[in-house]
Amino acid sequence: MIRLSIAALFIASLSTFSVADEAVADGACIQWLDQSIGKLNSSQEHDLCALTAGKAVLVVNTASFCGFTPQFKGLEALYQRYKDEGLMIVGFPSDDFNQESDHAEETAEVCFINYGVSFPMTSVVKVKGANAHPIFKVLHEKGEPSWNFNKYLVSKTGEVIAHYDSSVTPESTQLISAVEQQL
């Protein structure tokens, strides 16, 4: 009878494992990243699900004319160092702090030409307030960006692990250690 009870408990516990949990465990898309968004300076779109499925993700709100803009160099180095181990960085340019160009071509030049960014960059979005992009509304659970170059680390299963403000550089041991724990 005890064996039957243990077996029944085991089977019951399996039934609480949801389809969403199973999909994420298998490297499928995180629900709140299952969307498309415009590519920077392009008529094409990024499929965020395809870019991020089964990966740890670092989401960064960026701006081209900010004192923190040189962090693009460190972000690119971080991406190159860990992309083959399962890190995806996605940059979201924003003019919420009045430091982004009104012209996508200029933003693209800063990112791709001046800093050699190869990780995905999206079209310009809102990252704070009621009109924030839906992704940033999820990220706000760890805190709304207070300036450009806030960084949000997301686990492979979609949990928002941490929020780092602009002063935490891509080279910081704090950020690198957290990234390595997620890989």
Per annotation, catalytic residue among 29, 49, 66, 111: 66
Domain that holds residue 55: 27-182
Active site residue 66: yes
Closest by Cα among 76, 61, 66, 89 to 171: 76
- CA–CA distance, 121 with 93 (Å, rounded to integer): 7
Confirm whether 145 is domain-assigned. yes
Confirm whether 171 is domain-assigned. yes
Q: Give the strand pairing for 87-93 and 56-62.
A: parallel
In the numeric block, the tokens 């509304």 are attached to 137
Domains in the chain: how many in total? 1
More confident residue, 160 or 9: 160
- CA–CA distance, 141 with 101 (Å, rounded to integer): 28
Arithmetic mean of pLDDT, 2-22: 39
Residues 48-102 have pLDDT tens digits of: 999 999 999 999 999 999 999 999 999 999 999 999 999 999 999 999 999 999 9
Whichever domain contains 163, its CATH number is: 3.40.30.10
The fraction of the chain above a pLDDT of 90, given in percent, is 84
Confirm whether 3 is domain-assigned. no
Confirm whether 6 is domain-assigned. no
Confirm whether 7 is domain-assigned. no
Confirm whether 56 is domain-assigned. yes
